[in-house]
Structure formats: C-alpha cells, structure tokens
Structure 1
C-alpha cells in the first residue's frame, strides 16, 4: 500500500497515531516495471492522477517515480514527444444545450457573464454535473465562485431583479425565483475537521480544494460558466473514469473518520445509480464502523441521513447494505434485518407503490412509514430509545410512538369485528396515512387489508350533501341533534342506503322530523347490512 505524509499527519491529528498503517493506506494504485516506457508512466501519473508510482520488479519494491521525476525526465529527453501533461480541455456545451432547460441554461450563461465582469471564475458543480454526464434528470444547481460568493450573488440579483438570501457565516447565498426554483451560490472554500465526526471549520480556497472536500470522486466535477470557457468540464480527481466504471470512491482514506455520515451517502448513491462501492472504500467503511466513529454522529445528523435513505425510490437494498456493514445497530443495538423485518419492509414498498398509483390528494411522509416498519420488532421501551438516539422532535417522537400503539390496537380490533363500513370509518378516520400504510403492510388477514384498502380508496372520501342551513330550512333548529343527524347520514351513505341529496332529505324527514313516523332506535338503525 501507499500512505502520504498528509494522510499520516491528519491521522495523528485525529488521535489515530496508534493505528496500523494498513487501516488507512491506499491499496488501489498502479505500479510499473523497471522497463516501463515514459508514455506508460505519464499515463499513470497524469491520466490517473497518481502522485507516486511505485516501481516493482518480481514483486519487490525497488523504487518510485513522482510527477517531478517525470517532468525532469521529459525535459532531458528531447526525442520524446509527450502527450499534454494535463488532460485536454473538454467542453460539454452541446450536452448542456441538450439536457438543461433553456431558461436554466440562459441563467447559467448570465451568471458566467456577471462573473466575468467582476473578475470571478464561476462554476456549476457537484451533483448537477454528475447527473448531466449520467444523462439523468438535473434539478438543483449549485454554483461555486472563485472570489466572493455573496458579493457575486448580490450583483447577480441586482442585474436580474431576483431575490437573494444571504448566509454570511458560511459564505453562501441562495438566488430565489418567483416560481420557487433556487440556485445555491458558494464561495470556493477549503475545510478541516477539528475532531472526528465534528462539523468542519471552513475557509476560502481555490476550486480544486473546494472540490477536494467533497464526499466522493463522482461529485467533484465542475463546469465553467464564464463566456470564454463556457461549458469546459473540470475533472481533478478522475470522476469521469469512476462514472464510466460505476464506482463510488472517496478522495482520501480519512474521509469517513472526518465525516462518518458520508458512509450513508455512499450506500444511497450505490443503490440509486446501480454502482459499486470501491474495494478500498468498503474497507474504510468497515474500519470507521469498527472504531466507533459512526457512533459519534449526533442524533440530528443520523436522522437526516436516515430520512434521505428512507425516501429513496427503494430503500430496502440500502437497508440491506446497512445491515451488512453493521450500521443498523448504530440506530439501536437490537435492530437487525431479520427475515421477518425484511419481508415487512418489502411489503411496505409494495403498499407505497400501490398508494402512489392512486394519485390521491394530500401528502404523506414515506420515511415515516418505513420507520414505523423498522421499529416494529422493537419493544416499546426500545422504540423510545430509538427516538432518543435519532433526536426526534417531540412531534415526530409522538407520531412514531403513538402511531405504533394505535396501529397495533386498531389492527386487533379490525381483525375481531364484523367490518361494517361505518365501524371501519370510525376506527380508521383518526389515523394518519403513514399509520394506515404501515398497518396495511403489517396485516396478515385479508379482511383487515381489504378494510383499510376500502377506507383509503372509497369510504373516507364519502361526504354528506346536506348542511346545517339545509336542516334549518327543513324545520330542525340547531343543536346537538345536528351531530346525530350528520352521523346517521354518513352511515347511510357508507351503507348504500342513500345516494342523492333527495335520498338524504327523505331519510331526515322519516327519522328526525316529529311529523313522520317514530325515529328508530340506534340498535334498529345499526342492523342495516353492508353493501
């Protein structure tokens, strides 16, 4: 393996001086033989960005070549015609024009023009560029300024009439559009971590250092926006190669020591893009988990990463990887992906897919459905411990704990009762959609699943046509009787006794007006049969 002076110094700074070198050495690197031509050496050092190239003969290390050595050799070998020592300039202007909506592309060009006027270099960076090269939908745009990002954003806002929100502490700003769209602008900066898992200290720096502080090589791409070089792709760390090979790779071996939350992002990206986490990066994940760095993450940061995982299109493969790396126990010591829990999570995915295809009004929080399912095997006390570890807000803690209690209690009642629509309606109406979906996934009885399904798709949309004014016009004075009437009308709607407003009026006349036949007792009214 290889280890640099910088990594060794930072490891000691983080209190890892007693650890074995193998834990943090670079294991994914190229070597050459003593007879290798200069062209091969140049391809490794320049093309792959490898700072030190070991020379190996018969499995034995006999020397090393640095970029300085290569430059000196090329200078002293006039007959050798080298390739450019830095990658050729690559422009993706056509790709931008094909994949980016015209109004966004115009904004990016305008940003470049404003930056050029101010003497700043402006770049679109990160996920926007990554998704562009992957031909995936591009939504959020992050812009980095080699200069004063806040000053640039203010100037851009003045020239375009757009509102700008300033975040002085981090040297960032957000350009806000009337339709809700936003572009985040940041000053190019470098950062260092005062201790493992702690928030970073940030200072200004060049673009390369700004990109180096990012989590994975695939997120280190940039596109210049200034007019002379609009569309030029910047790749310092081999991101294009890793995108082509489908590899998730960290930029240095202390990445997970300094920010363990990157582990969860690695798992998300691996599943989302269908990539593989690189072998060395996997080893670094295991090392960070083994040494307890992930345990040092605050509950708030852990919860934020978990929510992102549980809102992915299919969280189950990510949860499987969390189990593989020993990350579920970080949430709670007794949490593990048993066959039962795996089956429940799979059914949650199926229920959510079914629910989404209904295109119902109103929103639900997908992550809460999955969290209820993940907490299912735990005891009440353990669920409270889980909510404390995740530092859930009082509202979310109440939703998790009470939602779980209500679900278990309601499912028992549903399974035992004769399921008349009105009884199901009364039982399920107080429950949030997240609890209903969790119950539907957990239910083993077909009758219970059917009752919840009918409630979601039909019964809870049932409305009574008459209102208080209508009842007054019919000669019924306001009072507690109104509640009884509306309850009876809703029951009649659900049971199929009435279908129109005229039917409702007739029922009110028959059962609630004194001039008509005697009102039936509740026992008599409840004998109507289910449609």
Structure 2
C-alpha cells in the first residue's frame, strides 16, 4: 500500500484547475491568503523556515489544520511543519539562527520551536506509520512528504504548502482535499483507517461539527462497522477520554454529542448513557450558566468542557459514573470531581430544596460550607441542573458575595490578644468567618470583641 501511494504523481496547486469559491487557487492566491489572513510576522517566519531548509538541502512544508483553515478563511495559528529529512536538526538550526528555544522528542523525530513571546511551532520529520495490530500505537519510519500526508486521519488534513525558495506558496493536494473542502465532506484515506486508529471515530465527529461538514457515506459506513466490531475496545480508555475532552472543548459540544448518540458511541462509553430530552436541555442551561459566570469578570479560569461533561453524566447514578471513570482511565483529580464533588453538590441542592419546602432557608454560613470545597465547574453544573429558583439564588449569592468574605483578623492579632499559636487558631477563624457570613460581625472591632468574649 505504501508503494502504491508513493508512486502516484504529486500535484501542486499551481498545476491544478480552479475548483471555484476560495478553493483550487493558484500559487499567487495562496500567497495572497497568507498575507491577508495573518500579520506580516507569520509570512516572515514561514520564509525563514524555507531559508533554513534551502541552506540545509532539505524540503520543508506547512501542513495540517493551518493549511486547511487558510483555504476555509478561518484563523488558525497552530503551525505544523514537516521536513523531508531530520526534523530535529532542522529545528535546532532554526533556533540557533533566530533566538528560539527548542524542545525535542527524539523517539518520534519531532521538536517544538518556542519563540520569546511563547509562540510555538511544531516540527516533525516526514514519516510513515504502520500498525502491527488494531488500536496499537504506530511504528514509525522516515518517508517523503506524500507518505507523511497519507498517514493523516482525513483527506481535508492532507494539504501541504511548500516553503522552499521559488516553490514558496505551492499547495500540494495528493488525495482530493480541495474537492472535499468544497463539498464539505469528511473522508478517510483508506478502508482500514478506523481499524488502524479507532480514535479517529471521535475526530471525525469533532471535525464534522466544528467545520459544518458531513461524513461521506462510505466513511460513515466504515465508522459504524468499526464501532459494531468492537475496535474501540482495543484502545486505552485514556486515549478515548482525551478525544472526548477535545469534543467537549468545542464552543457548543451538543451537536457532537447528538452525533455520538446517532452512531451508538454513547452506549459504548456506558450502557446506561442515554441522551434524553432533559439532558439535551441541560446543555443549553449549562451554556447560560457559563456565560453568566464569564460576565462576572472574576478573572478565574473555568474548564467549560468539564461543565458540559458533567451534564452528559447527569442521568447516571453514582455507581455508573464510577464505572465510567474506570473505563476511561480518568485521572484521580478529575475522578474526584465526577464522583465525590458531584455527589456532594447533589446532596446540597436537594437539601436547599427540602429546606425551602419546609420554610427553613439556609444560613449564609451553611451555603458557604456546602459550596466552598467544590470546584467552579461543579457549581456551574449545579446551577444548570437545578430548575429551582432558591437553589440558583444560593449559588448566585455564593459566587457574587459569600466566597470572597474573610475574617479581618490575622494570626498576629490573636497572638497579641494572648492566644498561643496552635490548632485553636483554626477554630477561631472558622467561627469568625461563620459569624461574618451570617451578618453577626461587621467590623474589625466586632471580631476582636467576639474573640475576647469566647476565648479569653
């Protein structure tokens, strides 16, 4: 198969007929796209990469999503460079000339160029991969650019722009990528694609939704066959989870989740994982909660994908969630969120609802005690999940006011009052904070008087 692929004739864009729209453009138009879509610095970097390659007697190409999105008029600064030759040596020479740091991965012949402003470029040696068995990690060999592109997941990701000298700006399309970009189609390059790397199942769905494309009929048939024949079971759970995280990092992951349900992938993750209407509505509520939190301008980071992932698990019981975490080899810190914190916020919101039904509203110190140990993502999930106004008010109060309150006294103040440092300090500060949260203490003097009354 590799011999057949390498024997075909390469086809630079400058020799290709125009296909209409912004696709099938000749070299001068590719150059125009580079100049209009990016600041001058990017073209300067690309030219320098070509200069270094020329001096070393190598051929170098920009590949992957950067090229695909350039033709789709989408912004993408994830710059991937492929070198026909020693990619690490090429990167080291570029770093020497242009004041970059370099991080290398010799096992795979790859390197990362890190510029002073932290802009990064991935550099790889052109290589081919083959799989000794389905789902295994690939065996790697050096190869020409065409074989390197043939190992890609989908045709739309097989474009390459030459960066060398007079060839700068030539677009190479060996596998019909321009046709599929124009037709908005996701296609694999060969029939064993999903067998060799079953994680491509999830990438196909992600690209469909991100780009507004659709899998070709034959590609979808191959995907369904791979799922039905159990090839996903041959890859590690962590690799599957990593692909899911990428899906949930999309701006709106619900269409991809619906597509996973259509392709029977949710059942693969867990037999009880069903996409009921309530869960679909929960995704919309989660987006509202995320937008609300963003407008608070707290400056704190929030892993939006985690909120959405919690929504997907909303109808699973605790045992099923724990089983899913084990199936996907989820890291302990995330397991804690999906299990312990999730259970805790369910208990808290249920208690708030029960208290309201019995006309016993929770004190601010109780709200703080319930929510303070939990991550932001779990709290936003709870806000999305609860249709109860009282629960949402409690969560809003915690986010906007309660969590920022703290005692006005310090350990030095307690020491000056005659209290010896020790475990008692923790109790004192906890009681001071609770009293402040409940409005019983307002000023610093109030807190001093409280300590004198209860501890001296």
By how many angstroms is 1:365 displaced?
A: 2.5
* More deviation, 157-166/266-275: 157-166
By how many angstroms is 1:151 displaced?
A: 1.4
Contact 1:257 1:288 in 2 (8 A): yes
Identify the residue that residue 353 of structure 1 maps to in structure 2. Answer: 291
Judging changes above 3 Å, is the alpha-carbon distance between structure 1 residues 48 and 380 closer, same or farther for their aligned structure 2 residues? farther
Normalising by the residue count of structure 1, what TM-score does the alignment of the two structures yield?
Answer: 0.76
By how many angstroms is 1:183 displaced?
A: 0.9
By how many angstroms is 1:253 displaced?
A: 2.4
User: In structure 1, which of residues 91, 98, 105 is the aligned counterpart of residue 43 of structure 2?
Assistant: 105
- 3-state SS of the aligned residue for 1:391? coil
Could you report, residue by residue, the CA deviation over 1:6-44 in whole angstroms, capped at 9, with x for unpaired residues? 59x99xxxxxxxxxxxxxxxxxxxxxxxxxxxxxxxxxx
By how many angstroms is 1:496 displaced?
A: 4.5
Contact 1:485 1:508 in 2 (8 A): no
By how many angstroms is 1:510 displaced?
A: 4.1
Could you report, residue by residue, the CA deviation over 1:481-509 in whole angstroms, capped at 9, with x for unpaired residues? 6545544543454345565xxx221x135
Contact 1:91 1:233 in 2 (8 A): no
- 3-state SS of the aligned residue for 2:175? coil
Matched, 1:302 2:245: no
Matched, 1:284 2:253: no
By how many angstroms is 1:142 displaced?
A: 0.4
* More deviation, 319-328/409-418: 409-418
Contact 1:90 1:233 in 2 (8 A): no
Indicate the structure (1 or 2) with the bigger Cα radius of gyration. Answer: 1
1:39-50 pair list within 5 angstroms? none
Contact 1:476 1:513 in 2 (8 A): no
By how many angstroms is 1:114 displaced?
A: 0.4
Identify the residue that residue 511 of structure 1 maps to in structure 2. Answer: 450
By how many angstroms is 1:468 displaced?
A: 2.8
Could you report, residue by residue, the CA deviation over 1:195-253 in whole angstroms, capped at 9, with x for unpaired residues? 22222222111111111111111111111111212222222222223222322222222
User: In structure 1, which of residues 456, 468, 475 is the aligned counterpart of residue 399 of structure 2?
Assistant: 456
Instruction: Quote the Cα distance in structure 2 between the aligned partners of 1:155 and 1:477.
Output: 62
Instruction: Quote the Cα distance in structure 1 between the aligned partners of 2:447 and 2:18.
Output: 82
Instruction: Quote the Cα distance in structure 2 between the aligned partners of 1:338 and 1:509.
Output: 55
1:164-313 pair list within 5 angstroms? 164-313=102-251
User: In structure 1, which of residues 163, 180, 201 is the aligned counterpart of residue 101 of structure 2?
Assistant: 163
Contact 2:53 2:164 in 1 (8 A): yes
Identify the residue that residue 385 of structure 1 maps to in structure 2. Answer: 323
Identify the residue that residue 40 of structure 1 maps to in structure 2. Answer: none
Normalising by the residue count of structure 2, what TM-score does the alignment of the two structures yield?
Answer: 0.87
By how many angstroms is 1:124 displaced?
A: 0.8
Judging changes above 3 Å, is the alpha-carbon distance between structure 1 residues 425 and 257 closer, same or farther for their aligned structure 2 residues? same
Instruction: Quote the Cα distance in structure 2 between the aligned partners of 1:475 and 1:88.
Output: 82
Matched, 1:426 2:369: yes
Judging changes above 3 Å, is the alpha-carbon distance between structure 1 residues 260 and 468 closer, same or farther for their aligned structure 2 residues? same
Judging changes above 3 Å, is the alpha-carbon distance between structure 1 residues 318 and 490 closer, same or farther for their aligned structure 2 residues? same
Bigger relative contact order, structure 1 or 2 (CA pairs below 8 A, ≥6 apart) = 2
Instruction: Quote the Cα distance in structure 2 between the aligned partners of 1:193 and 1:479.
Output: 61
- 3-state SS of the aligned residue for 2:252? coil
1:454-493 pair list within 5 angstroms? 454-473=397-416, 482-483=425-426, 485-493=428-436
Contact 2:302 2:377 in 1 (8 A): yes
Could you report, residue by residue, the CA deviation over 1:163-220 in whole angstroms, capped at 9, with x for unpaired residues? 2222111111111223332211111111222222222222111111111111111111
RMSD, aligned α-carbons: 2.7
Matched, 1:336 2:274: yes
- 3-state SS of the aligned residue for 2:301? coil
Judging changes above 3 Å, is the alpha-carbon distance between structure 1 residues 161 and 423 closer, same or farther for their aligned structure 2 residues? same
Contact 1:468 1:482 in 2 (8 A): yes
Instruction: Quote the Cα distance in structure 2 between the aligned partners of 1:438 and 1:320.
Output: 19
Contact 1:100 1:138 in 2 (8 A): no
Instruction: Quote the Cα distance in structure 1 between the aligned partners of 2:438 and 2:328.
Output: 44
Contact 1:489 1:504 in 2 (8 A): no
Instruction: Quote the Cα distance in structure 2 between the aligned partners of 1:384 and 1:513.
Output: 48
Identify the residue that residue 395 of structure 1 maps to in structure 2. Answer: 333
